[in-house]
Amino acid sequence: MNLHLAPVAETLVGLGDPGSHPAGAVVGVRVGGESSVAAAGWALLPGEQSPGRPMTDSALLDVASVTKIASTTAVAMRLVAAGDLDLDAPVRGDEVTSRHLLAHTSGMPPWSPLYCATTERADALKRAATVDLVAEPGTVWSYSDLGMITLGGVLESVVGQRQDELFTRLVARPLGLDSAAYGPVDESRAAASSDGDAIEREMVRTGEPYETPFTVDDFGGWRTEPTVGVANDGNATHALGGVAGHAGLFASVPDLLRLGAWLTDRRVHGDVLDHFTRPLDVAPDRALGFRLATWRVGGEDVPMAMHPGFTGTVLASALDRDLVVAVAATRLHGTTTPVPVDEIIRVALAGVARAIEEG
């Protein structure tokens, strides 16, 4: 099946008002084992000292929080299946478990600029893992980058390998993924992740949306130019050496499609997949690592396991058939008021549904 996805990619590049249009976009769909991919716009916008680079189907993209399922959840699934990870064993003294970390029910706060305190990876992991809780574990769902950073550290401790090595050994190499890896990656193949650290710098300056004890003067490495081949996320890049449980992974859309199909393949994961995609009692649209959604396509409601990423990415895999959607719209490059990620997802899925229905 060769789906006509170019209009979807072109629509994403034109989203929003002036100052909001993503620089480039790549859209991919896998249906019944066959994949279609289309690209539009720029991987790197032309500038005073660069002619720019057009976006391509095979561009390496900063997938941001899609890392949470593509790497951290995927590795956790493999370790649970092998009997090497007990999801219910406490990982800190207040009874936080790996299950809580995967489910975002640990009670850990959402975010902190760890790099304002340290740029040493081991110290940053320790600081993330020992933050004060803001809720009792297991009682509420609250999205936490710090929780997923901590889970990455737990996985590393269980196996004795850094997360990039774990991802390569347990996921990328067995699947034959050509591009998926933690950064830094080849700049000549990478799309720009963002135009620097302006967003996080403003978060630190204002204390919005998350209070922080730090000031912008506590960190001297703020980036002001386009970031290419390195992650947009400040904690991943500045504090954790590019390798983290919450962000830092790069991949092409074709590789994301292969990875997405594997993630929800019951022939591979069996009962482990059912366990990881069971709705949470405290948040029925969430599961272990995954977000759950229903996508209307071809006159049917299709249950999906998915995750978005702050850079403008989403990976969504059907739970009842071989159907995967991977989207990357570089919303942080060339923009002053980036179009919201939810709008990218809404427009992309609607366009992909039309493309599938038109065959």
- Identify the band that residue 50 occupies on the pLDDT scale cut at 50, 70 and 90: confident
Q: Kindly state the average pLDDT of the residues 257-264.
A: 98
pLDDT at 37: 98
3-class SS of residue 193: strand
Asked whether the predicted pLDDT for residue 1 surpasses 80, the reply is no
pLDDT-wise least confident of 75-79, 149-153, 342-346, 355-359: 355-359
Give the pLDDT score at 94.
Answer: 78
| Best CATH choice for the domain 71-175 from the list 3.40.50.1100, 3.40.440.10, 3.40.50.720, 3.40.710.10 | 3.40.710.10
The model scores a pTM over 0.85: yes
Please enumerate, as own/partner, the contacts of 200-203 that have beta carbons within 8 Å and a separation of 24 or more. Answer: 200/113, 200/234, 203/111, 203/113
pLDDT in tens, 186-203: 999 999 999 999 999 999
Q: State the pLDDT at residue 47.
A: 86
Provide mean pLDDT across the span 204-217: 98
* Six token digits for residue 129: 């893992």
Closest residue by Cα to residue 282 from 139, 100, 109: 139
- Measure the CA–CA gap between 225 and 255, rounded to whole angstroms: 28
| Res 49 pLDDT > 80 | no
Domain locations in the chain as residue ranges: 71-175
What is the mean predicted confidence (pLDDT) over 302-311? Answer: 98
Residue 318 CB partners (closer than 8 Å, separation 6+) = 264, 295, 302, 303, 304, 324
pLDDT given at position 325: 98
Residue 59 confidence (pLDDT) above 80: yes
pLDDT of residue 287: 98
- Structure-token pair, residue 259: 């990875």
- Give 2's pLDDT tier (boundaries 50, 70, 90): confident
Quick: pLDDT tens for 103-144.
Answer: 999 999 999 999 999 999 999 999 999 999 999 999 999 999
Average pLDDT, the chain: 97
